[in-house]
Structure 1
Amino acid sequence: MLKKIGFCMLLVSSTCWAGDKAIIGSSELMSVEQTGLSYEARIDTGAVNTSLHAFDLEIEGGSEKKMKDNVGKTLFFTTENEEGLQKRLKAKIVKTSTVSNSQGRETRYMVDLKVGFQDKERKVRVNLRDRSHMDYKLLIGRNWLKGKYIVDVSEKKVIGPVAPISILESGLTFETRIDTGAVENSLHAVDLKVENGEKDMEKNIGKRLSFTTENEKGESHRVNAMIVETSLIRNAQGSEIRYMVELTVGQPGQEYKVKVNLKDRSKMSYKFLIGRNWLQGHYMVDVSL
Protein backbone atom coordinates (compact mmCIF):
# COMPACT_ATOMS: atom_id res chain seq x y z
CA MET A 1 0.00 0.00 0.00
CA LEU A 2 1.49 3.29 -1.11
CA LYS A 3 -0.27 6.61 -1.01
CA LYS A 4 0.81 10.21 -1.41
CA ILE A 5 -0.21 12.65 1.31
CA GLY A 6 0.46 16.24 2.22
CA PHE A 7 1.13 16.57 5.93
CA CYS A 8 2.05 19.00 8.65
CA MET A 9 4.28 17.83 11.49
CA LEU A 10 4.26 19.63 14.81
CA LEU A 11 7.82 19.98 16.11
CA VAL A 12 9.00 20.79 19.63
CA SER A 13 9.46 24.41 18.56
CA SER A 14 5.77 24.39 17.51
CA THR A 15 6.78 25.17 13.96
CA CYS A 16 4.77 23.51 11.25
CA TRP A 17 6.83 21.58 8.70
CA ALA A 18 4.97 20.93 5.47
CA GLY A 19 5.99 18.47 2.82
CA ASP A 20 4.79 15.90 0.37
CA LYS A 21 5.93 12.38 1.21
CA ALA A 22 4.61 8.91 0.52
CA ILE A 23 3.34 6.56 3.21
CA ILE A 24 4.94 3.10 3.18
CA GLY A 25 4.03 0.05 5.24
CA SER A 26 6.27 -2.09 7.44
CA SER A 27 6.75 -4.52 4.55
CA GLU A 28 6.40 -3.94 0.80
CA LEU A 29 6.87 -5.81 -2.47
CA MET A 30 9.98 -4.23 -3.96
CA SER A 31 12.55 -4.99 -6.62
CA VAL A 32 16.26 -4.62 -7.34
CA GLU A 33 16.49 -3.53 -10.96
CA GLN A 34 19.76 -5.32 -11.75
CA THR A 35 18.39 -8.66 -10.55
CA GLY A 36 15.00 -8.62 -12.28
CA LEU A 37 13.66 -10.14 -9.03
CA SER A 38 10.94 -9.04 -6.63
CA TYR A 39 11.42 -9.24 -2.86
CA GLU A 40 9.05 -9.01 0.10
CA ALA A 41 11.11 -6.27 1.73
CA ARG A 42 11.19 -5.36 5.42
CA ILE A 43 11.07 -1.57 5.94
CA ASP A 44 13.42 -0.92 8.86
CA THR A 45 13.81 2.59 10.25
CA GLY A 46 16.31 1.19 12.75
CA ALA A 47 18.80 0.34 9.99
CA VAL A 48 21.06 3.04 8.58
CA ASN A 49 21.61 1.26 5.26
CA THR A 50 19.66 -0.96 2.92
CA SER A 51 20.78 -4.62 2.96
CA LEU A 52 20.46 -7.38 0.33
CA HIS A 53 20.81 -11.14 0.70
CA ALA A 54 24.09 -12.11 -1.02
CA PHE A 55 26.28 -15.23 -0.98
CA ASP A 56 29.14 -16.82 -2.97
CA LEU A 57 30.99 -13.49 -2.98
CA GLU A 58 34.01 -13.44 -5.30
CA ILE A 59 36.31 -10.49 -5.97
CA GLU A 60 37.70 -10.13 -9.49
CA GLY A 61 41.47 -10.54 -9.41
CA GLY A 62 41.46 -11.93 -5.88
CA SER A 63 40.76 -10.50 -2.45
CA GLU A 64 43.06 -8.47 -0.25
CA LYS A 65 43.39 -9.47 3.42
CA LYS A 66 41.69 -6.29 4.62
CA MET A 67 38.20 -5.77 3.25
CA LYS A 68 38.65 -2.01 2.91
CA ASP A 69 41.56 -2.62 0.53
CA ASN A 70 39.09 -4.19 -1.93
CA VAL A 71 37.12 -0.94 -2.35
CA GLY A 72 37.01 -0.06 -6.05
CA LYS A 73 37.24 -3.68 -7.21
CA THR A 74 34.51 -5.64 -8.99
CA LEU A 75 32.55 -8.07 -6.84
CA PHE A 76 30.53 -11.05 -8.09
CA PHE A 77 27.74 -12.38 -5.87
CA THR A 78 24.50 -14.37 -5.99
CA THR A 79 21.22 -13.15 -4.55
CA GLU A 80 17.97 -15.03 -3.99
CA ASN A 81 14.43 -13.88 -3.18
CA GLU A 82 11.82 -15.49 -0.92
CA GLU A 83 10.54 -17.64 -3.80
CA GLY A 84 13.99 -19.23 -4.31
CA LEU A 85 14.70 -17.37 -7.57
CA GLN A 86 18.40 -16.56 -7.95
CA LYS A 87 20.53 -14.12 -9.95
CA ARG A 88 24.31 -13.76 -10.29
CA LEU A 89 25.41 -10.12 -10.29
CA LYS A 90 28.54 -8.05 -10.47
CA ALA A 91 29.03 -4.58 -9.02
CA LYS A 92 31.85 -2.29 -7.95
CA ILE A 93 32.62 -2.20 -4.23
CA VAL A 94 32.10 1.46 -3.27
CA LYS A 95 32.89 1.15 0.45
CA THR A 96 32.69 -1.11 3.48
CA SER A 97 30.35 -0.66 6.44
CA THR A 98 30.62 -2.01 9.96
CA VAL A 99 27.29 -3.13 11.38
CA SER A 100 26.58 -3.77 15.07
CA ASN A 101 23.74 -6.10 16.01
CA SER A 102 22.79 -8.72 18.61
CA GLN A 103 25.37 -11.11 17.10
CA GLY A 104 28.19 -8.59 17.49
CA ARG A 105 29.97 -6.50 14.84
CA GLU A 106 30.63 -7.38 11.22
CA THR A 107 32.01 -5.58 8.19
CA ARG A 108 30.13 -5.78 4.91
CA TYR A 109 30.82 -4.71 1.35
CA MET A 110 28.63 -1.97 -0.07
CA VAL A 111 27.62 -1.57 -3.72
CA ASP A 112 25.32 0.80 -5.60
CA LEU A 113 22.08 -0.81 -6.83
CA LYS A 114 18.74 0.48 -8.05
CA VAL A 115 16.12 -0.47 -5.45
CA GLY A 116 12.43 0.40 -5.09
CA PHE A 117 8.98 -0.26 -6.42
CA GLN A 118 8.95 -1.89 -9.85
CA ASP A 119 9.77 0.60 -12.64
CA LYS A 120 10.43 3.28 -9.97
CA GLU A 121 13.73 2.03 -8.61
CA ARG A 122 16.47 4.49 -7.67
CA LYS A 123 20.15 4.14 -6.88
CA VAL A 124 21.12 3.57 -3.27
CA ARG A 125 24.07 2.14 -1.35
CA VAL A 126 23.36 -1.45 -0.34
CA ASN A 127 25.36 -3.65 2.01
CA LEU A 128 25.65 -7.34 1.12
CA ARG A 129 25.02 -10.01 3.70
CA ASP A 130 24.00 -13.68 3.84
CA ARG A 131 20.35 -13.38 4.94
CA SER A 132 19.44 -17.02 4.17
CA HIS A 133 18.28 -17.59 7.76
CA MET A 134 16.13 -14.42 7.75
CA ASP A 135 12.51 -14.05 6.67
CA TYR A 136 13.25 -11.00 4.52
CA LYS A 137 15.98 -11.11 1.87
CA LEU A 138 15.84 -7.36 1.29
CA LEU A 139 15.88 -4.84 4.11
CA ILE A 140 15.15 -1.19 3.35
CA GLY A 141 17.06 1.22 5.61
CA ARG A 142 16.99 4.93 6.29
CA ASN A 143 19.29 5.76 3.39
CA TRP A 144 16.51 4.79 0.95
CA LEU A 145 13.61 6.22 3.01
CA LYS A 146 15.06 9.58 4.04
CA GLY A 147 13.32 12.62 2.60
CA LYS A 148 10.81 10.63 0.57
CA TYR A 149 8.80 8.25 2.78
CA ILE A 150 6.92 8.02 6.06
CA VAL A 151 6.65 4.52 7.55
CA ASP A 152 3.23 3.57 8.88
CA VAL A 153 3.67 0.39 10.92
CA SER A 154 -0.07 0.15 11.49
CA GLU A 155 -0.48 -0.47 7.77
CA LYS A 156 -3.82 1.28 7.67
CA LYS A 157 -6.17 0.18 4.94
CA VAL A 158 -7.59 2.52 2.31
CA ILE A 159 -11.36 2.88 2.07
CA GLY A 160 -13.50 4.84 -0.39
CA PRO A 161 -16.24 7.41 0.34
CA VAL A 162 -18.89 4.66 0.25
CA ALA A 163 -18.30 1.07 1.39
CA PRO A 164 -20.24 -2.04 2.43
CA ILE A 165 -20.11 -2.15 6.24
CA SER A 166 -21.69 -4.82 8.42
CA ILE A 167 -23.02 -4.61 11.98
CA LEU A 168 -22.80 -8.06 13.55
CA GLU A 169 -25.57 -7.44 16.08
CA SER A 170 -28.02 -6.65 13.27
CA GLY A 171 -26.95 -9.35 10.83
CA LEU A 172 -27.16 -6.66 8.14
CA THR A 173 -24.73 -5.03 5.71
CA PHE A 174 -25.18 -1.34 4.93
CA GLU A 175 -24.05 0.69 1.93
CA THR A 176 -22.31 3.17 4.20
CA ARG A 177 -21.23 6.77 3.79
CA ILE A 178 -17.64 7.26 5.03
CA ASP A 179 -17.59 10.76 6.51
CA THR A 180 -14.31 12.21 7.83
CA GLY A 181 -16.25 15.33 8.83
CA ALA A 182 -18.28 13.40 11.41
CA VAL A 183 -16.82 12.69 14.84
CA GLU A 184 -19.06 9.68 15.47
CA ASN A 185 -20.74 6.83 13.66
CA SER A 186 -24.49 7.16 13.23
CA LEU A 187 -27.00 4.37 12.56
CA HIS A 188 -30.61 4.53 11.41
CA ALA A 189 -32.78 3.53 14.38
CA VAL A 190 -36.54 3.76 14.98
CA ASP A 191 -38.97 2.57 17.64
CA LEU A 192 -36.46 3.01 20.46
CA LYS A 193 -37.53 1.40 23.74
CA VAL A 194 -35.51 1.77 26.95
CA GLU A 195 -35.99 -0.84 29.65
CA ASN A 196 -37.43 1.01 32.69
CA GLY A 197 -36.67 4.23 30.85
CA GLU A 198 -36.97 7.77 32.22
CA LYS A 199 -37.60 11.05 30.41
CA ASP A 200 -34.16 12.38 31.34
CA MET A 201 -31.94 10.65 28.76
CA GLU A 202 -28.87 10.94 30.98
CA LYS A 203 -30.56 8.78 33.62
CA ASN A 204 -30.95 5.94 31.10
CA ILE A 205 -27.20 5.44 30.65
CA GLY A 206 -26.36 1.84 31.55
CA LYS A 207 -29.87 0.58 30.74
CA ARG A 208 -30.83 -1.81 27.93
CA LEU A 209 -32.24 -0.33 24.74
CA SER A 210 -34.01 -2.04 21.85
CA PHE A 211 -34.46 -0.48 18.42
CA THR A 212 -35.21 -1.40 14.82
CA THR A 213 -32.71 -0.66 12.07
CA GLU A 214 -33.02 -1.07 8.32
CA ASN A 215 -30.49 -1.01 5.48
CA GLU A 216 -30.81 0.45 1.98
CA LYS A 217 -32.31 -2.80 0.66
CA GLY A 218 -35.22 -2.58 3.09
CA GLU A 219 -33.90 -5.44 5.25
CA SER A 220 -34.62 -4.78 8.92
CA HIS A 221 -33.68 -6.23 12.30
CA ARG A 222 -34.48 -5.59 15.96
CA VAL A 223 -31.32 -4.92 17.97
CA ASN A 224 -30.74 -4.95 21.74
CA ALA A 225 -27.82 -3.03 23.24
CA MET A 226 -26.75 -1.14 26.34
CA ILE A 227 -26.78 2.67 26.36
CA VAL A 228 -23.14 3.63 27.06
CA GLU A 229 -23.55 7.41 26.90
CA THR A 230 -25.47 10.24 25.27
CA SER A 231 -24.12 12.52 22.56
CA LEU A 232 -24.98 16.15 21.77
CA ILE A 233 -25.01 16.54 17.98
CA ARG A 234 -24.99 19.95 16.31
CA ASN A 235 -25.85 20.31 12.63
CA ALA A 236 -27.58 22.67 10.19
CA GLN A 237 -30.94 21.81 11.73
CA GLY A 238 -29.85 22.73 15.26
CA SER A 239 -28.79 20.39 18.05
CA GLU A 240 -30.12 17.14 19.48
CA ILE A 241 -29.17 14.55 22.07
CA ARG A 242 -28.78 10.95 20.89
CA TYR A 243 -28.23 7.66 22.66
CA MET A 244 -24.94 5.90 21.98
CA VAL A 245 -24.47 2.12 22.05
CA GLU A 246 -21.52 -0.14 21.37
CA LEU A 247 -21.82 -2.31 18.24
CA THR A 248 -19.46 -4.56 16.31
CA VAL A 249 -18.86 -2.70 13.05
CA GLY A 250 -16.62 -3.14 10.02
CA GLN A 251 -16.02 -4.46 6.57
CA PRO A 252 -17.36 -8.05 6.47
CA GLY A 253 -15.01 -10.29 8.44
CA GLN A 254 -13.06 -7.32 9.87
CA GLU A 255 -15.51 -5.91 12.41
CA TYR A 256 -14.57 -4.42 15.78
CA LYS A 257 -16.40 -2.74 18.68
CA VAL A 258 -17.13 0.97 18.37
CA LYS A 259 -19.61 3.50 19.72
CA VAL A 260 -22.54 4.41 17.46
CA ASN A 261 -25.18 7.09 17.93
CA LEU A 262 -28.80 6.28 17.01
CA LYS A 263 -30.96 8.50 14.80
CA ASP A 264 -33.95 8.19 12.50
CA ARG A 265 -32.23 8.36 9.10
CA SER A 266 -35.27 7.22 7.09
CA LYS A 267 -35.13 10.40 4.96
CA MET A 268 -31.42 10.02 4.27
CA SER A 269 -29.80 8.16 1.38
CA TYR A 270 -27.42 6.30 3.68
CA LYS A 271 -28.77 4.50 6.72
CA PHE A 272 -25.34 4.17 8.29
CA LEU A 273 -22.63 6.82 8.50
CA ILE A 274 -19.05 6.08 9.55
CA GLY A 275 -17.20 8.84 11.38
CA ARG A 276 -13.70 9.42 12.65
CA ASN A 277 -14.13 7.31 15.79
CA TRP A 278 -14.22 4.16 13.59
CA LEU A 279 -11.65 5.32 11.01
CA GLN A 280 -8.96 6.62 13.36
CA GLY A 281 -5.90 4.38 13.49
CA HIS A 282 -7.38 1.87 11.04
CA TYR A 283 -8.23 3.52 7.71
CA MET A 284 -7.32 6.28 5.31
CA VAL A 285 -10.07 7.57 3.00
CA ASP A 286 -9.54 7.95 -0.74
CA VAL A 287 -12.52 9.81 -2.19
CA SER A 288 -11.47 8.86 -5.75
CA LEU A 289 -12.27 5.16 -5.16
Structure 2
Amino acid sequence: MKAIFKILILIIFIFKFTISFSQKNKDKEIIGQKVTIKIKGTKTKGAKTKAAKIKFRARVDTGAKTTSINAKNIKKKGKYVKFSIVNRKGKKISITKKIIDERVVFNAEKKEKRIFVYLTLVYKKTSRKVLVDLNDRSTSTYKVLLGRNWLNGKYIVDVSLK
Protein backbone atom coordinates (compact mmCIF):
# COMPACT_ATOMS: atom_id res chain seq x y z
CA MET A 1 0.00 0.00 0.00
CA LYS A 2 2.84 2.39 0.89
CA ALA A 3 4.55 1.66 -2.43
CA ILE A 4 1.39 2.50 -4.39
CA PHE A 5 1.00 5.73 -2.41
CA LYS A 6 4.64 6.70 -3.15
CA ILE A 7 4.19 5.98 -6.86
CA LEU A 8 1.00 8.04 -6.91
CA ILE A 9 2.78 11.00 -5.23
CA LEU A 10 5.64 10.69 -7.74
CA ILE A 11 3.22 10.71 -10.70
CA ILE A 12 1.45 13.81 -9.34
CA PHE A 13 4.81 15.57 -8.83
CA ILE A 14 5.98 14.76 -12.38
CA PHE A 15 2.64 15.91 -13.82
CA LYS A 16 2.77 19.24 -11.91
CA PHE A 17 6.42 19.79 -12.88
CA THR A 18 5.64 19.15 -16.57
CA ILE A 19 2.73 21.61 -16.55
CA SER A 20 4.76 24.22 -14.66
CA PHE A 21 7.73 23.84 -17.05
CA SER A 22 5.57 24.10 -20.18
CA GLN A 23 3.74 27.21 -18.90
CA LYS A 24 7.01 28.85 -17.87
CA ASN A 25 8.54 28.27 -21.31
CA LYS A 26 5.51 28.77 -23.56
CA ASP A 27 6.76 32.17 -24.80
CA LYS A 28 10.25 30.87 -25.62
CA GLU A 29 11.14 29.78 -29.13
CA ILE A 30 12.78 26.38 -29.56
CA ILE A 31 15.93 26.57 -31.67
CA GLY A 32 18.69 24.21 -32.74
CA GLN A 33 22.40 24.47 -31.96
CA LYS A 34 23.07 26.20 -35.27
CA VAL A 35 21.22 29.32 -36.42
CA THR A 36 21.67 32.06 -39.03
CA ILE A 37 21.96 35.59 -37.67
CA LYS A 38 22.69 39.01 -39.11
CA ILE A 39 24.92 41.63 -37.53
CA LYS A 40 24.39 45.31 -38.18
CA GLY A 41 27.38 47.50 -38.97
CA THR A 42 28.68 49.80 -41.70
CA LYS A 43 30.23 49.12 -45.06
CA THR A 44 32.83 51.50 -46.48
CA LYS A 45 33.40 51.87 -50.21
CA GLY A 46 35.93 54.59 -50.98
CA ALA A 47 34.83 57.67 -49.04
CA LYS A 48 31.23 56.47 -48.68
CA THR A 49 29.99 54.74 -45.55
CA LYS A 50 26.58 53.10 -45.38
CA ALA A 51 24.65 50.84 -43.04
CA ALA A 52 25.13 47.14 -43.73
CA LYS A 53 24.17 43.73 -42.40
CA ILE A 54 26.30 40.63 -42.64
CA LYS A 55 25.00 37.05 -42.33
CA PHE A 56 26.67 34.45 -40.14
CA ARG A 57 25.99 30.81 -39.45
CA ALA A 58 26.31 30.77 -35.67
CA ARG A 59 26.60 28.04 -33.07
CA VAL A 60 24.61 28.26 -29.85
CA ASP A 61 26.78 27.40 -26.84
CA THR A 62 24.87 27.14 -23.56
CA GLY A 63 28.20 26.70 -21.76
CA ALA A 64 29.44 30.13 -22.86
CA LYS A 65 28.30 33.06 -20.75
CA THR A 66 28.94 35.72 -23.41
CA THR A 67 28.57 35.79 -27.19
CA SER A 68 31.85 35.80 -29.12
CA ILE A 69 32.49 37.04 -32.67
CA ASN A 70 35.34 36.68 -35.15
CA ALA A 71 36.94 40.14 -35.25
CA LYS A 72 39.94 41.26 -37.32
CA ASN A 73 42.08 44.42 -37.39
CA ILE A 74 41.10 45.37 -33.84
CA LYS A 75 42.32 48.92 -33.12
CA LYS A 76 41.60 50.71 -29.86
CA LYS A 77 41.19 54.50 -29.97
CA GLY A 78 40.52 55.85 -26.48
CA LYS A 79 37.10 54.64 -25.35
CA TYR A 80 36.31 53.20 -28.79
CA VAL A 81 37.44 50.23 -30.85
CA LYS A 82 37.39 49.79 -34.62
CA PHE A 83 37.33 46.28 -36.04
CA SER A 84 36.23 44.26 -39.04
CA ILE A 85 34.07 41.17 -39.10
CA VAL A 86 34.25 38.66 -41.91
CA ASN A 87 31.83 35.81 -42.51
CA ARG A 88 32.57 32.40 -44.08
CA LYS A 89 31.89 33.72 -47.58
CA GLY A 90 34.43 36.52 -47.18
CA LYS A 91 31.91 39.37 -46.84
CA LYS A 92 33.39 42.03 -44.59
CA ILE A 93 32.11 45.08 -42.72
CA SER A 94 33.90 47.57 -40.47
CA ILE A 95 32.46 48.60 -37.15
CA THR A 96 33.39 51.25 -34.59
CA LYS A 97 31.89 50.78 -31.13
CA LYS A 98 32.34 52.10 -27.62
CA ILE A 99 34.35 49.71 -25.43
CA ILE A 100 32.11 48.41 -22.66
CA ASP A 101 34.66 46.27 -20.85
CA GLU A 102 38.05 44.58 -21.14
CA ARG A 103 38.62 41.39 -19.22
CA VAL A 104 40.64 38.21 -19.13
CA VAL A 105 38.79 35.23 -20.59
CA PHE A 106 39.79 31.61 -20.01
CA ASN A 107 39.25 29.04 -22.73
CA ALA A 108 40.52 25.51 -23.39
CA GLU A 109 43.73 26.75 -24.99
CA LYS A 110 44.82 29.76 -22.91
CA LYS A 111 43.76 32.89 -21.09
CA GLU A 112 43.58 36.13 -23.02
CA LYS A 113 42.38 39.71 -22.65
CA ARG A 114 39.32 40.52 -24.74
CA ILE A 115 37.39 43.66 -25.57
CA PHE A 116 33.61 43.68 -25.06
CA VAL A 117 31.18 45.81 -27.09
CA TYR A 118 27.45 45.90 -27.76
CA LEU A 119 26.37 44.72 -31.22
CA THR A 120 22.91 44.44 -32.71
CA LEU A 121 22.18 40.83 -33.65
CA VAL A 122 19.17 39.96 -35.80
CA TYR A 123 17.62 36.49 -35.65
CA LYS A 124 14.67 36.02 -37.98
CA LYS A 125 12.86 39.33 -37.43
CA THR A 126 13.99 39.92 -33.86
CA SER A 127 16.72 42.52 -33.38
CA ARG A 128 18.55 42.68 -30.03
CA LYS A 129 21.55 44.54 -28.65
CA VAL A 130 23.91 41.98 -27.09
CA LEU A 131 27.28 42.19 -25.32
CA VAL A 132 29.91 40.37 -27.41
CA ASP A 133 33.62 39.79 -27.05
CA LEU A 134 35.95 40.40 -29.98
CA ASN A 135 38.04 37.33 -30.70
CA ASP A 136 40.03 35.79 -33.54
CA ARG A 137 37.80 32.86 -34.51
CA SER A 138 39.27 32.53 -38.01
CA THR A 139 40.21 28.88 -37.43
CA SER A 140 36.77 28.06 -36.00
CA THR A 141 34.00 26.57 -38.13
CA TYR A 142 31.50 29.02 -36.67
CA LYS A 143 32.57 32.66 -36.70
CA VAL A 144 29.92 33.57 -34.12
CA LEU A 145 29.37 31.72 -30.87
CA LEU A 146 26.05 32.66 -29.26
CA GLY A 147 26.30 32.53 -25.47
CA ARG A 148 23.72 32.50 -22.71
CA ASN A 149 23.47 36.30 -22.81
CA TRP A 150 21.96 35.99 -26.30
CA LEU A 151 19.59 33.22 -25.25
CA ASN A 152 18.57 35.36 -22.24
CA GLY A 153 15.24 33.70 -21.55
CA LYS A 154 14.06 34.06 -25.16
CA TYR A 155 15.03 30.66 -26.54
CA ILE A 156 15.23 27.00 -25.56
CA VAL A 157 17.95 24.97 -27.28
CA ASP A 158 16.98 21.56 -28.66
CA VAL A 159 20.23 19.84 -29.65
CA SER A 160 18.35 17.33 -31.80
CA LEU A 161 17.29 20.11 -34.21
CA LYS A 162 19.59 20.84 -37.15
TM-score category (smaller protein): 0.7 to 0.9
Structure 2: how far apart are the matches of 1:231 and 1:185? 14
Q: Which residue of structure 2 lines up, in the alignment, with residue 226 of structure 1? A: 98
Q: What percent identity do the matched residue pairs reach?
A: 36
Q: TM-score, normalised by structure 1?
A: 0.45
Q: Is 1:250 equivalent to 2:106 in the alignment? A: no
Q: Which has the higher helix share?
A: 2
8 Å Cα contact 1:193/1:211 also seen in 2? yes
Q: Show structure 1 runs of 5+ residues with no match.
A: 1-18, 22-145, 197-206
1:127-151 CA-to-partner distances (Å, cap 9, x unmatched) read: xxxxxxxxxxxxxxxxxxx464121
Write the mapping of 1:119-268 to structure 2, written as runs, cut at 5 A: 146=16, 148-150=18-20, 151-152=23-24, 155-169=27-41, 171-196=53-78, 207-268=79-140
Q: Which has the larger radius of gyration?
A: 1
Structure 2: how far apart are the matches of 1:281 and 1:240? 28
Q: 1:147 to 1:193 in 2, by over 3 A?
A: closer
Structure 2: how far apart are the matches of 1:215 and 1:252? 18
Q: Secondary structure at the match of 2:159?
A: coil
Q: Secondary structure at the match of 1:255?
A: strand
Q: Aligned-pair RMSD on alpha carbons?
A: 1.8
Structure 1: how far apart are the matches of 2:68 and 2:60? 11
Structure 1: how far apart are the matches of 2:102 and 2:84? 18
Q: Which residue of structure 1 lines up, in the alignment, with residue 9 of structure 2? A: none
Q: Is 1:281 equivalent to 2:153 in the alignment? A: yes
Structure 2: how far apart are the matches of 1:148 and 1:195? 52
Residue-pair matches, total: 137
Q: 1:157 to 1:232 in 2, by over 3 A?
A: same
* Runs ≥4 residues deviating over 6 A: none
